[in-house]
Structure 1
């Protein structure tokens, strides 16, 4: 992709196939993924601000939407990149400290941590078994494929490959990213079991009305935030909250930029104007799209208040894996792939994944 000099999904696919149908599909697929991913970020941000400042959830989501629109409209890709660099350093540092603080409680013995978690949790040994999402080997394979291939189909990830100077640097950056992401995933299960041990034993502080049955304050999306307070007091709570907010801002900005690009460049400039639109008109459409996406994101955040953030992110990966990734993969590696096949396959993946999501539990 980097050698081709084309960075959004639509650019790569349209290089090989007919422009109008390919760009129409790619823009639609990108916008659907952006919408799913937006839900997770807006719900997470709303719950975070609600817990921290005691604001009403709806007010919190509207505040985040306005902030995000201002950020993208006035500062663009360069500032988004800097936020992503800073939040990555803060996130890895904060998560490392959190995991070490949990292990320190048990003399750096993970087995002692797991034993205590089983002891205090209502479900006892059941928490050591695969969770509700992964009930059988087929589900495990499915989730693995969604997370692996879905990443390669996310529009705001693909956009990043053009921010490095050459293909060698692109490969190097992917290697570093994979290493640090793997490291972070290792930390998450330590943080999860640490949250069980520390929060369940202090229901008055962290659960609604002090009742375990009513769930955590801020729903099931807040265990790491509450754990930071339990282990490091208000100072560390402030730091982890700042990290969480920076992560949300960076992701939402990236999503909005890729969504605005899909509408302004792929749909408006190429499909509707057949390549005759000037850059000023394209920029104007991009800014209007940014405002529309911001308003849409606020409505989605309010509508999906009770949803689990991790679950919504996984659905975005599932759609990207089913619709965007196969088209991207075939356009780069299969010389006999034709426009009709690519568009039909992509639309089939998009419609089936969204329909199954809508019809699911």
Structure 2
């Protein structure tokens, strides 16, 4: 990139960071310091505000950078991420949103512990939530590193590392000072910026092809080097049985994983009523749906205008397809239009990363303080001390995410998020659905459901081609590959549900009918909800 492009992009980066830090500082001066304020923003957000915040929390670097890059490289098969990310919200809307808002206070463990023995359930659910959050954070860190590497010409490994560290430091500041209220407003601002930038790029792509979508697709197929195979299933997930099962595994993880993501579930507690939570999801689905339709145009636009070879040359995983597309649409390298558009898109992508990491860090620190610390160290106590623990936990989560982000810097962002979705669907979704809908579910079943999905998912990832055994692995010179699939969802998700059922039917305890009845009434009517 030219010095002018670098300077303008860095100025826009700095502007967004300054605005978000100002929001955080303002909120920190006007907060009450209670747990409800820190975790849920006082439950004062409207459905529209929360819908925009949910969209801002969900439309991550995996979508804007990773999914569009996969479409640019693999055509039709890259659409799986877009479809999976969107369809997952139907599960959230119809099965989770309203019931979770009625049954819990701040975290996933609140919902499950309402009718179980709290200590073992909170420890299990808290451990799972932190694991999922860290995996999700790693993807955002990788996106930030790829973006800055492109900005600096792709040659500065030190700059990429310092970028990851800087993003980690900013997310700790956002969460520890501003809590949920600052995080929500950062996500709203980011959602508006991202949607505006995506609309502008989509219009420019369509104008370039005079509104001819057929011409766009045919040009993309021609430049891909694969011809019509670029527009039909099988380019990435076709061929042998391993690739086909990977396709099924990834689809299951994406569709079922959203309902188990801690940072998405925590957003339902920021509105005053369950009806508001449901309306928030309706707003979010509309915004997210429009965004993902546009990413399809951007992905094929990058393939047609920039070309897969140029995308791979910039970043082998495809994470820089959209910034390169913006550069070309604006007039190319060295032009004023290209400089401005590239800088704007890079700044929007960076804003996307900062907003998402703030939400994830808040959710994970809440799990550490509200579930793990409260269960392991003390009983009761003042909420203010729990908030203090959450702030310290944000630092610890940030350090772990930074370290893993540096390690996984060469993997595709959307692919990394797919792993987080698989763990969430394996460990969090079974215990959540069983708790809400199975009258006979027991404490042992809850604990087994969490660990029965979490442990196999993590172990299978460690033993998969993602970590070792192939040139694209994290450790290419080591071979611990015993599991052939890149995504563990096909195996670990059924194991989570099976473990929950097995733990329940073999438990000696008798389910508390009174607690179940109370939870059922509360979940369906909202009576007694916080």
Question: What TM-score does the superposition give when structure 2 sets the normalisation length?
Answer: 0.63
CA distance in 2, matches of 1:2, 1:113: 43
User: Corresponding residue for 1:97?
Assistant: 200
Of the three residues 321, 332, 336, the one matched with 1:223 is: 321
Of the three residues 347, 361, 365, the one matched with 1:242 is: 347
Deviation at 1:301, TM superposition (A): 1.1
CA distance in 1, matches of 2:382, 2:235: 51
Q: 8 Å contact 1:23–1:271 — kept in the other structure?
A: no
1:168 partnered with 2:275: yes
1:312 partnered with 2:416: yes
User: Corresponding residue for 2:228?
Assistant: 125
- Deviation digits for residues 314-351 of structure 1 (CA, Å, limit 9, x no counterpart): 11111101110110111111111111112112211111
User: Corresponding residue for 2:433?
Assistant: 329
CA RMSD of aligned residues (A): 2.0
Q: 8 Å contact 2:206–2:212 — kept in the other structure?
A: yes
What pairs with 1:143-154 in structure 2 (closer than 5 Å)? 143-154=250-261
- Deviation digits for residues 175-204 of structure 1 (CA, Å, limit 9, x no counterpart): 121122222221112111111122129x7x
User: Corresponding residue for 1:278?
Assistant: 382
User: Corresponding residue for 1:23?
Assistant: 122
CA distance in 1, matches of 2:392, 2:186: 23
CA distance in 2, matches of 1:22, 1:133: 40
Q: Secondary structure at the match of 1:3?
A: helix
User: Corresponding residue for 2:292?
Assistant: 185
User: Corresponding residue for 1:211?
Assistant: none
Deviation at 1:261, TM superposition (A): 0.9
Of the three residues 181, 187, 191, the one matched with 1:88 is: 191
Of the three residues 127, 130, 137, the one matched with 1:38 is: 137
Task: Using CA pairs under 8 Å that are at least 6 residues apart, name the structure with larger relative contact order, 1 or 2.
Answer: 1
Deviation at 1:94, TM superposition (A): 1.4
Q: Which moved more, 1:65-74 or 1:292-301?
A: 65-74
Alignment CA distance shift 1:182-1:76 (3 Å): same
Q: Report the structure, 1 or 2, having the larger helix content.
A: 1
User: Corresponding residue for 1:261?
Assistant: 366
User: Corresponding residue for 1:339?
Assistant: 443
CA distance in 2, matches of 1:191, 1:88: 17
CA distance in 2, matches of 1:111, 1:149: 32
Q: 8 Å contact 2:127–2:372 — kept in the other structure?
A: no
Q: Which moved more, 1:121-130 or 1:306-315?
A: 121-130
Deviation at 1:81, TM superposition (A): 0.5
User: Corresponding residue for 1:10?
Assistant: 109
CA distance in 2, matches of 1:332, 1:347: 18
Alignment CA distance shift 1:23-1:5 (3 Å): closer
* Unmatched 5+ stretches in structure 2: 1-99, 331-337, 466-530
- Equivalenced residue count is 351
User: Corresponding residue for 2:462?
Assistant: 358
Alignment CA distance shift 1:279-1:167 (3 Å): closer
CA distance in 2, matches of 1:133, 1:338: 42
Q: Secondary structure at the match of 2:200?
A: helix
Question: What TM-score does the superposition give when structure 1 sets the normalisation length?
Answer: 0.91
Deviation at 1:114, TM superposition (A): 1.0
Deviation at 1:271, TM superposition (A): 3.0
Deviation at 1:32, TM superposition (A): 1.0
CA distance in 1, matches of 2:134, 2:256: 19
User: Corresponding residue for 1:109?
Assistant: 212
Alignment CA distance shift 1:218-1:243 (3 Å): farther
Q: 8 Å contact 1:260–1:289 — kept in the other structure?
A: yes
CA distance in 1, matches of 2:387, 2:437: 33
Q: 8 Å contact 2:319–2:413 — kept in the other structure?
A: yes
Of the three residues 385, 394, 397, the one matched with 1:290 is: 394
Q: 8 Å contact 1:199–1:227 — kept in the other structure?
A: yes
